[in-house]
Amino acid sequence: MDAHVARRIVRKVTWFSQNFERVIPEPLAGDLGGTFKLRVGDWRVVYSAEGDTITVWVIGHRREIYRMR
């Protein structure tokens, strides 16, 4: 991932953490059940949330992210 994409992801995750209550989570299924995705262009951030804690599990390109286990 290049620096431009990394900055976009950091900005989006920061925004997400500050606006979490207003975002409708997009749940994942299968091996990634119990997690959610956040879209950043062609990149995906897979996370879980419990109470006030958001845990980012993996960040990857949409073409590859769902193959990771």
Low-confidence ranges of the chain (pLDDT < 70): 68-69
* CATH code of the domain in which 60 resides: 3.30.2310.20
Please give the Cα distance from 30 to 55 (Å, whole number): 19
SS3 category, 62: coil
Residue 45 near residue 57 (C-beta atoms within 8 A): no
Task: Please report the pLDDT score of residue 68 as a whole number.
Answer: 64
* Distant-in-sequence, close-in-space partners of 6: CB < 8 Å, separation ≥ 6: none
**How many structural domains does the chain have?**
1
pLDDT of residue 69: 54
The two three-digit tokens of residue 29, written as one number: 């299924």
Q: Which of 58, 60, 45 lies closest to 14 in space, CA to CA?
A: 45
Question: Structural domain of residue 43, as residue ranges?
Answer: 3-67
